[in-house]
Chains A and B, each alone.
Chain A
Amino acid sequence: MRKLVKYDLRNGWHNTYYKIGIFVLVIVVINIIGVNSIKMVIDNNKINADILDYICFVLGGPRYIPEGMFSMYVIPVLWLLIQVGISYTIGYYAMNDLHAYGQQVLLRSSSRAKWWISKIVWNVTMVSLLYVIIFIVTIVSAQIAGCKWDWELTTDIARDVCNIDMIAGKSQEILIVLMVMPLLTSITLSLIQMVLALILSPMIGFIVVQSIVILSTIYAKKWLISNYAMLSHNKITCASDIKYTDGIVINVILCLAAFVIGLCYFQRCDILPKNEEV
């Protein structure tokens, strides 16, 4: 099992290192934009920004749109770039591996379950790596910009730059929603994408996951799980009923469901040469 995981990490890296490089560049650009935006607020209001403000700019999510006020909506490109980047990095590896070289891997793994578990481990590792990159780049940018380390959101910056009008939660809650929930939600979405890629096609998996993401930016509904990744859509910052506790439960259930569905399907499916129709 360990050797299979090692193979996947090694082969996965070989297949995705350039995508990770592009992702790093994108995060750097997002952080440059963030630092400049926050700097304007700092200069206008004569305040200091906190490290959490910079993280909130990158991961906080788009503005909450109340029902019936759609004219306020703006496509949150920077936040979407991160979600799309994660989907793109994960997207094709597992299925590409299975229908070509991966057959040899499967014969050597001596168990389909082990092959699937190895892919799950690769998936989770890759998403976690991307988030580590996000945090490192953001923290370095914030440090260069001269932030303070109180781990508290600054009201003016949150309102003017991060699309958050009120902060009604405790510090620990904000930290969980801002730093843990995006990672957990991204892991869930990437597992869902991998299962759909296995059963249907990688493109369908990508479309479904990105549909959830874009609809979550419009509607603050509990069943659109990307909402749990956004501090700006959480109950502690707006008039929605998105709670992080519900998010943790739903994400864990969906992760397990994705694992089980993928395992059940994979243990029964025929591995035949696949013509990529879509």
Chain B
Amino acid sequence: MYIELKDISKSIRKTEVLSNINLRLESGKVYGLKGKNGCGKTMLMRVICGLIKPTNGTVDYNGVVLWRDIDVPKSIGALIENPSFIPGYTGYENLELLSSIKGKTSEEEICDVMIKVGLEPYDKRKYRKYSLGMKQKLGIACAVMGEPEVIVLDEPINAIDEAGVELVRELLEELKKKDKLIIIACHDADEMNVLADEVIQMEKGHII
């Protein structure tokens, strides 16, 4: 499985946020996006997920072009910016509701993925009572639940404790071995070096 971005550009209200991005991403690797704040990492992730349409260029998923052949990538999990869930449901209930849309994830798999990120599946607390780190962990669990082919994580280790970071590392390693294509953005240079196989440096909407 591969993702190929050809000549991707995006302007929002006359401001060019992405400019002539050309990338080929292969499965079985972890790609790290690195760059200053506002360089376009999150925008690029949004383009890959199909949440925004590029002004120019194409996003090719294994020969299937996004916005031409399909609207949304067939198998993708994403955590972009702040995680958002239903405040009145528990973490498990939120994941169960989302998994019911595709119907591929069993109860055991949901529990398993929550444990892997360091959350208690049968915790009765509602999402609104979660700490920031717990919300972030739930966001990661949501993105990797069902083991999609492409996983996009924007600042996954934000607000997570050391033990949690270790768990996330192990999880990403496991998914890499299962031939998944993982894209992460991270400000921590050391963490990026550990997690990512290939680092993509961005600046002002370009890849350098």
B56 CB to nearest chain A CB (Å):
14
Chain B residue, CB-CB nearest to A268:
B53
Q: Are B84 and A107 touching (Cβ within 8 A)?
A: no
A103-123: which have CB < 8 Å to B? 103-113
Give the A-binding residues of B (Cβ under 8 A).
12, 46, 49-53, 70-74, 76-78, 80-81, 84-86, 88, 94, 97-98, 100-103, 142
Quick check: is A26 within 8 A (CB to CB) of the other chain?
Answer: no
Q: Are A101 and B85 touching (Cβ within 8 A)?
A: yes
Give the B-binding residues of A (Cβ under 8 A).
3-4, 6-7, 10-11, 14, 100-101, 103-113, 267-273
Task: Please report the number of residue pairs spanning A and B whose Cβ atoms sit closer than 8 angstroms.
Answer: 71
A148 CB to nearest chain B CB (Å):
47
Q: Are B98 and A113 touching (Cβ within 8 A)?
A: no
Chain B residue, CB-CB nearest to A118:
B101
Q: Are A110 and B84 touching (Cβ within 8 A)?
A: no
Chain B residue, CB-CB nearest to A11:
B97
Chain A contact residues: over half helix, strand or loop, or mixed?
helix
The answer for the CA separation of A211 and B143 in the assembled complex, in Å, is 43
Write out the residue numbers on chain B whose beta carbons fall within 8 Å of the beta carbon of A14.
86, 88
B82 CB to nearest chain A CB (Å):
9
The answer for the CA separation of A112 and B12 in the assembled complex, in Å, is 21
A78 CB to nearest chain B CB (Å):
33
Q: Are A3 and B100 touching (Cβ within 8 A)?
A: yes
The answer for the CA separation of A108 and B103 in the assembled complex, in Å, is 10
Known interface pairs A107-B77, A273-B81; A3-B102 also in contact (CB < 8 Å): yes
Write out the residue numbers on chain B whose beta carbons fall within 8 Å of the beta carbon of A268.
53
Write out the residue numbers on chain B whose beta carbons fall within 8 Å of the beta carbon of A10.
97
The answer for the CA separation of A270 and B12 in the assembled complex, in Å, is 10
Chain B residue, CB-CB nearest to A112:
B71
Chain A residue, CB-CB nearest to B71:
A112
Write out the residue numbers on chain B whose beta carbons fall within 8 Å of the beta carbon of A267.
71
A130 CB to nearest chain B CB (Å):
23
Q: Are A111 and B85 touching (Cβ within 8 A)?
A: no
The answer for the CA separation of A267 and B77 in the assembled complex, in Å, is 20
The answer for the CA separation of A112 and B73 in the assembled complex, in Å, is 11
Q: Are A108 and B84 touching (Cβ within 8 A)?
A: no
